[in-house]
Amino acid sequence: MVAKTNFDVGRIRDDFPILSRQVRPGVPLVYLDSAATSQKPISVIESMDRYYREMNANIHRGIHKLAEEATQAYESARQRIAEFINAPSPEELIFTRNTTESINLVANSWGRAFLQPGDMILLTEMEHHSNLIPWQLLAGQLSLRLEFIPVTPRGILDLDEYQRLLKMGPKLVSLTHMSNVLGTINPLEEILPAAKSAGALTLVDGAQSVPHFPIDLSKIEADFYAFSAHKMLGPTGIGILYGKRELLEKMPPFLGGGEMIKRVELRSFTANDLPHKFEAGTPAIAEAIGFGAAVDYLSGIGMEEIEKSEKKLTGYALERLSQIPGLHVLGPGIEDRGGVVSFYLQDIHAHDVAQILDSEGIAVRAGHHCAQPLHTKFNLPATSRASFYIYNTEQEIDRLVEGIQKVKSIFA
């Protein structure tokens, strides 16, 4: 049988109108900031436009035709996203605003209901602030204890230390699947079963993983899994919290209001069934529909193909960047990482690097990337970061390398 591949970067690029724009006259865009947010294909933009033009109505409430169509489109998106990550059922997927809100939901609902003073939450040193601050807030309010799996100088988790920390009996292990700074893909197949054996629940921050490689929740034994649409070709303002049904059933609602109730009296209410129990108020309907279109687009290409092509591109970037004297890349080798490459140049501030690259039309991120403790650990105030997605090419990496050479020549 001839191997079938839908991966044709030229064709893919044609689906993203923004990629053909110039940043300034004569300076074409090289977008290397997809870890911050990805660009959107026409199919996603059109799906939201169609909703507003043809079926705009509130959902789950009306009995008229438009309300019926809008509800169907919204729930069909949930169904397709559930299939995309092979979740047991769509009712275990809660629409939130983003990964940050998904984690805050768990901290505030599960955390407040089930944690006691002195209980321990185990995080890692490579977490994004979204998986740090909600726990710091809760720890302050409930007198919890926070511990951290250390990151080694190579940029991977110290799993021996993890085993030792597990003996302290954490109630929850919450960690990122892929670091937004180091690119490290954490070995969940080792980490999650060990947490379960130690009696801890697990939460995985999938903001940087779901967009880039296949996620199969029937194999990943996570109790909670969070991600955002906007990093995987979808719109901003919508994300997912997956939670195991038996946990979500036991958790109290996070926000109160319309939609999350079955019956209300003046002094009490009965919560709605899953997933509506956690979706108070009018949701982001157009955004959910756009999210559905985004997973359709990714599935049309195939997540295995996407993973393969990003590995190749990242390998190329690592090789080219390693040839630049004075440039240091953070994180492990290609075997343990995804398409995020943070780097620094000796004696040149990351913001200067990003600014000069921008003058060449190259969009990278500079700063601590919302992972300040990790930068402090590596003794760096900031790094520059190039991050890749399905529409990037080796020619764009070459432009990045030329841009960095220009930075060096200016500061020489």
Closer CB to ligand C6P, 71 or 131, in the complex: 131
Closer CB to ligand C6P, 207 or 397, in the complex: 207
Closer CB to ligand C6P, 39 or 272, in the complex: 39
Q: Which of 103, 178, 357, 370 is catalytic?
A: 370
Residue 275's contacts (CB-CB under 8 Å, 6 or more residues apart) are: 78, 90, 91, 92, 93, 94, 95, 248
Spatial contact of 388 and 310, defined as CB atoms under 8 Å apart: yes
Closer CB to ligand C6P, 331 or 408, in the complex: 331
367: phi > 0 → left, psi -120 to 50 → alpha, else beta; which?
A: left
Angle between helical axes of 303-322 and 285-301 (0-180°, round to 10): 80
**Residue 337 CB, nearest distance to ligand C6P (Å)?**
13
Closer CB to ligand C6P, 35 or 303, in the complex: 35
HSE-CB at 88 with a 13 A cutoff on CA atoms is 14
**Residue 265 CB, nearest distance to ligand C6P (Å)?**
35
CA distances from 118 to 143, 180, 250, 268 (A): 6, 30, 22, 31
Closer CB to ligand C6P, 119 or 205, in the complex: 205
**Residue 402 CB, nearest distance to ligand C6P (Å)?**
24
HSE-CB at 335 with a 13 A cutoff on CA atoms is 1
CA distances from 51 to 86, 211, 251, 306 (A): 26, 24, 33, 28
Active site residue 370: yes
**Residue 315 CB, nearest distance to ligand C6P (Å)?**
21
**Residue 101 CB, nearest distance to ligand C6P (Å)?**
7
Length of the chain: 412
Bridge partner residues of 176 (DSSP): 205
Angle between helical axes of 394-411 and 350-359 (0-180°, round to 10): 120
**Residue 293 CB, nearest distance to ligand C6P (Å)?**
18
Rounded CA-CA distance 224/323 in Å is: 41
Phi, psi dihedral angles at 121 (to 5 degrees): -115, 130
**Contacting positions for ligand C6P (CB under 6 A):** 35-36, 98-100, 128, 130, 176, 180, 205, 207-208, 228, 365, 369-370
What are the residue numbers of the active site? Answer: 370
